[in-house]
Amino acid sequence: MASAAFFSTCSSANENYLHLTPTHAYAKGFVNNLRTSNLPSIALRNERFVRLRGFVAMRDEGASKVSDDGPRMKIPHVLTVAGSDSGAGAGIQADLKACAARRVYCSTVITAVTAQNTVGVQGVSNVPEDFVAEQLKSVLSDMEVDVVKTGMLPSMGTIKIICKTLREFPVQALVVDPVMVSTSGDVLAGPSILSTFREVLLPMADIITPNLKEAAALLNGMQLETLDDMHSAARLLHNMGPKNVLVKGGDLPDSSDAVDILYDGLNFYELRSPRIRTRNTHGTGCSLASCIAAELAKGYPVLAAVAKRYVETALDYSKEIGIGNGPQGPFDHLLRLTSHSQDCHRQKPFSPSDLFLYAVTDSRMNKRWGRSIADAVKAAIDGGVTIVQLREKDAETKDFLESAKACLKICRSHGVPLLINDRVDVAIACDADGVHVGQCDMPARVVRTLLGPEKIIGVSCKTPEQAQQAWVDGADYIGCGGVYPTKTKENNTAIGLDGLKTVCVASKLPVVAIGGIGVSNARAVMEIGVPNVEGVAVVSALFR
């Protein structure tokens, strides 16, 4: 979608753009058309480059339209047919997030719109049955759907339409979450649907996932209070025709574990995980059913597809999140909301001026002075550095990660970005602000794919060609050098001020100069007369 929006924005420029990659963008020549004066930009050789985070647009002089040939990759696809939850903890919204977390595409047919929050359901408006049919047809006639998952189905007519459409457009598997009552006790689908549910939908299902109340309702009010009751319910529901039955025990009283019973007609499986003490369990059922659908779409068998561990991890991770004031809050499907909530400031967007005084740590020098990396970083920040790169060639991964976390805390509390040299894994693990790579490290294009559009990526470059490639690959800046000879990096020939100038002139990215730079020669570097030299990187000058 981002690319489509970009294309339409650009069309008035009367130029044609082709090939989008998930990297940073410098879209050339569109400053006036885009009217985005608030976007960070750099001026160089009378050209302006506007950064559009998220993708690169590359110009293709000859093309008259966006190319649509080339390989088409099939990706697993779940269609969810469910209700919307305005609070976004359950329903369609939970399904989208769960599928995204499981890396599966999710399309949506909305059966009802609920006004809902963490307190309860304040209102329900059913989508007209004809229009549910129209949505189903739109998706199924065009897209290759692997698995359909149903949630809130508010009327008999809606259920019948779904069954009819699925006969017309068969899919690999049907997951039925027989949503009836929200955890707040509000009715989402009344008893009038029960007979249609049993007679028409259940026999088509590959797996159904009732909670205790729903299993009881489908079994005419049978009492379900123990694990034995759940076994019996699973067997009775299986008799109604679904290939597999998962009776969920999230609401089982007096249970220190969250236990679900899976029955495939032959065997019972008791699926157990520790019960997480949390208020944030709204939408666990929808999410579990979507995960099952997602894993089935990838081709896993049913038992492997019941991703209980995922729900447990997400609940555990989200224990501290406080959204809404009601008794039952949503959890975080993507396991991202709490990682930034340390007592530190948020990461701010990268600005080339961050490169002004760029500190690169050196473990040998720290060892010699008997100080930790974190102490060195603290001292450097107190001394005025504007960005820090951790360069640890000897440390064990575990120790490096711990140091990186400690440094990140210090850097965040001072608003100074922290980059990791070379180790993309460590950067991801500690949620650093970015990575700096050399020519023999992981290519910046791959790093960008791994880190996403927001993180900072720097590349060491010695030649104009390397600088050009860094830009194409979606880097944010280049480190150019060694400008002067240095002992910090062996086998690194110095390119001198002339070499630096040649690369800077060719670079579309901001440059930080590196290599043998200290108090005595920093001014000469900054005054070479090329506007994109934004700063100097220092190692020994600081840490020795």
Ligand X SMILES: Cc1ncc(CO)c(N)n1
Q: How far is the CB of 331 from ligand ATP (least distance, A)?
A: 10
Residues 156-195 that bind ligand X (CB under 6 A): 179, 182, 188
Which residues contact residue 229 at a Cβ distance below 8 angstroms, ignoring those fewer than 6 apart?
Answer: 222, 223
Residues 85-124 that bind ligand ATP (CB under 6 A): 90
208 and 245 Cβ atoms separated by less than 8 Å: yes
- Select the residue interacting with ligand ATP from 24, 149, 282, 378 (CB under 6 A): 282
Residue with tokens 């997480």: 276
Q: How far is the CB of 203 from ligand ATP (least distance, A)?
A: 22
Work out the number of other CB atoms within 10 angstroms of the CB of residue 14. Answer: 7
Q: How far is the CB of 305 from ligand ATP (least distance, A)?
A: 12
Q: In angstroms, rounded to a whole number, what is the distance separating the alpha carbons of residues 110 and 95?
A: 12
> Interface with ligand ATP by CB under 6 A: which range of 46-54, 61-69, 280-288, 479-487?
280-288
| Catalytically annotated residues | 248, 281, 283-286
Which residues contact residue 500 at a Cβ distance below 8 angstroms, ignoring those fewer than 6 apart?
Answer: 480, 481, 483, 511, 513, 525, 528, 533
Q: In angstroms, rounded to a whole number, what is the distance separating the alpha carbons of residues 334 and 98?
A: 8
x/- binding map, residues 107-146, to ligand X, per CB under 6 A? -------x-x------------------------------
Q: Name residue 399's amino acid.
A: D
- Select the residue interacting with ligand ATP from 165, 196, 211, 386 (CB under 6 A): 211
27 binds, among ligand X, Mg ion, ligand ATP, none (CB under 5 to 8 A by kind): none
> Interface with Mg ion by CB under 5 A: which range of 59-67, 120-128, 284-292, 392-400?
284-292
Cβ-proximal residue to ligand ATP, closest one: 285
Taking the CA atoms of the chain, what radius of gyration do you get in angstroms? 28
448 and 457 Cβ atoms separated by less than 8 Å: yes
Q: Under the criterion CB under 6 A, does residue 149 sit at the interface with ligand ATP? A: no
The tokens describing 407, both together, are 């440094």
Beta pairing partners, 211: 248
φ/ψ region of 403 (left if φ > 0, alpha if ψ in -120 to 50, else beta) reads alpha
85 binds, among ligand ATP, ligand X, Mg ion, none (CB under 5 to 8 A by kind): ligand X
Q: Under the criterion CB under 6 A, does residue 83 sit at the interface with ligand X? A: yes
208 and 242 Cβ atoms separated by less than 8 Å: yes
125 and 56 Cβ atoms separated by less than 8 Å: no
Give the three-state DSSP class for 404: helix
Q: In angstroms, rounded to a whole number, what is the distance separating the alpha carbons of residues 524 and 343?
A: 40
- Select the residue interacting with Mg ion from 154, 283, 285, 330 (CB under 5 A): 285
- Select the residue interacting with ligand ATP from 201, 311, 360, 444 (CB under 6 A): 311
Q: Which is nearer to ligand X, 124 or 506 (CB)?
A: 124
Q: Which is nearer to ligand ATP, 93 or 386 (CB)?
A: 93
**Judged by CB under 6 A, how many residues of this single chain contact ligand ATP?**
24
φ/ψ region of 478 (left if φ > 0, alpha if ψ in -120 to 50, else beta) reads beta
The full DSSP string for 61-110 is: TT-SS----S------EEEEEEEEETTSSSHHHHHHHHHHHTT-EEEEEE
Q: How far is the CB of 210 from ligand ATP (least distance, A)?
A: 8
x/- binding map, residues 281-320, to ligand X, per CB under 6 A? --x-xx----------------------------------
Q: Under the criterion CB under 6 A, does residue 421 sit at the interface with ligand X? A: no
Residues 246-275 that bind ligand X (CB under 6 A): none
Q: By the criterion CB under 5 A, which residues form the site for Mg ion?
A: 285
Q: By the criterion CB under 6 A, which residues form the site for ligand X?
A: 82-85, 90-91, 114, 116, 151-152, 179, 182, 188, 283, 285-286
Q: By the criterion CB under 6 A, which residues form the site for ligand ATP?
A: 90, 183, 211, 248-251, 258, 260, 273, 275-276, 278, 281-286, 288, 308, 311-312, 315
